[in-house]
Structure 1
Amino acid sequence: MGKSQTGKKDYKQQRQKEMEKKKSTQRLMGWSLAIVLVAFLVLIVVSIMHGKGTGKTVEDKEFHYDQQPALGKSDAPVKIVEFADFKCPACKQFDQLILPQVKKDFVDTGIAQIYFINFPIISPDADSRTAAMAGEAVFRQSPEEFWKFYEAVYAKQGDEHTKWATSDALVQIAKESNLKLDFDKLKKDIDDNTYAQAVRDDEAIAAKLRVNSTPTVYINGNAVPDSDTFKYSAIKDAIEKAKGDAKP
């Protein structure tokens, strides 16, 4: 009888230890899950804070305005930045559907100035980068010819899945558009990757701001949500708000 009672006691103690161990393991798993969840939420918050359309204003210095092609009056109260890829079909649509209205209503009237920043995302290791370097080469030769080149490349844009933006093709586009450039120099600059660093600098800006698509548009440092990029009414409202906020 004594042995039986002792056995029961040992069994109960063993069961109690197992239960305590199980509870300890569950608590550990619970804390681990909580830590992972908190870390995940922190990442989401950080991403949102650096993301688009959150209302957080990016400081002017982040865009390096003085190094970018610009269209419009330098004293315009509204600065519009477009991150784009010459091979991007959506960028072509933005150029043809939205920018003409923006130019007419806001650039030509002195309210806004537009800046272009390269973000070769379609084929970053191939002709998206070639096109970006070509744009930089045109800009460095003649800033006023850049926007003509911009329009011409989008007008003759090839399929995004084919390698069409070669140095020969880009120089030919510039020639056919009667740009006032030294075409031999343009060809050499593209082939020699003369402005590769300038493109990398633009990519660094995009990376810092966590830009992940093209076109991405900022208005006075505030990102336009992707859902509004092709809504002229939304772009117009954002510009008018930026103009009002910029008043002294």
Structure 2
Amino acid sequence: MVLGIAVLLGGGLWYLSSAPKQASADADPAAGAHFVYGSPDAPVTVVEFSNYLCPHCKDHSEKSLPLIFADYVETGKVRYIFRDFPFAGQDNVILAGEAAACAADQDRYFDYHQLLFRATGQWGRVPTSELPAYFSDYARQLGLDTARFDACLSSHEKRPLVLADQELTRKLGLGGTPSFFVNGKFIEGFRPYDEWKKILDEALAGN
């Protein structure tokens, strides 16, 4: 059990304390995925494990991910899977994951996911009890049915999805965010887009 969080910002990775730093091959990072983008026939699958309060995950969301989507996901080359990695005691991050999952019910997971990262300065230090109002407002900004969204969030019906991802990170032995798997190969930390292009082109060449 992880008892605390040590944030090490060097090297593009946000670390858990007392956690393994090497991924395990004992579990399938793509198993049971719910938030999947791209062609099911794409030759390359990327699985992202991120934390909504991780600054390097925010960097990935804002700097690399839009280009990956434009050049690889939307062109049918890559299937992209999003998974949550809340650290122990991060009830706010768990609730953020629930909110994104509720947005997925209205086909807006990606947009809500991106908005959560852009807005971390607003909600990141707010008491968890006050977060539903923030998350509902983000749903409103995206034009969602807020009554439906609010009912989903207040019911916590999506919490098992977030906690299942959290358990999967334990089985995989992940120790920090962001963490990725590219056709099963472990990649850790923030990478600028030019590095992602090399990684993905090499994966495509291997198929």
Q: Report the TM range for the smaller structure's normalisation.
A: 0.7 to 0.9
In the TM superposition, what whole-angstrom CA distance separates every residue of 1:199-235 from its partner, at most 9, and x where no partner exists? 1111111111111211111111111133xx3232322
Which is higher, the Rg of structure 1 or of structure 2?
1
The question of 1:148 aligning with 2:114 is answered: no
How many equivalent pairs are there? Answer: 186
Matches within 5 A, 1:1-248: 51-52=22-23, 61-64=28-31, 66-121=32-87, 124-139=89-104, 141-142=105-106, 144-158=107-121, 162-163=125-126, 166-179=131-144, 182-226=145-189, 229-246=190-207
CA-based RMSD of the aligned residues comes to: 2.4
Q: 1:86 to 1:186 in 2, by over 3 A?
A: same
1:156 and 1:240 map into 2 onto residues whose CA distance is: 32
Relative CO higher for 1 or 2, CA cutoff 8 Å, sep ≥ 6?
A: 2
Residue deviations 1:99-156 (CA, integer Å, cap 9, x gap): 12211221122111211001112x74421111011112222x13x3111111222222
Q: Report which of the two has the higher share of strand.
A: 2
**Structure 2: gaps of 5 or more residues:** 1-19
Provide runs of 4+ in structure 1 moved above 4 Å: 56-59
Percent identity, aligned pairs only, is: 20
TM-score (normalizing by structure 1): 0.67
Whole-Å separation in 2 of the counterparts to 1:81 and 1:145: 19
Structure 1 gaps of 5+ residues are 1-46
Distance 1:124 1:63 in 2: 25
Give 1:243 deviation, angstroms.
Answer: 1.4
Q: Deviations over 1:10-52 (max 9, x none)?
A: xxxxxxxxxxxxxxxxxxxxxxxxxxxxxxxxxxxxx67xx24
Amino acid at match of 2:39: K
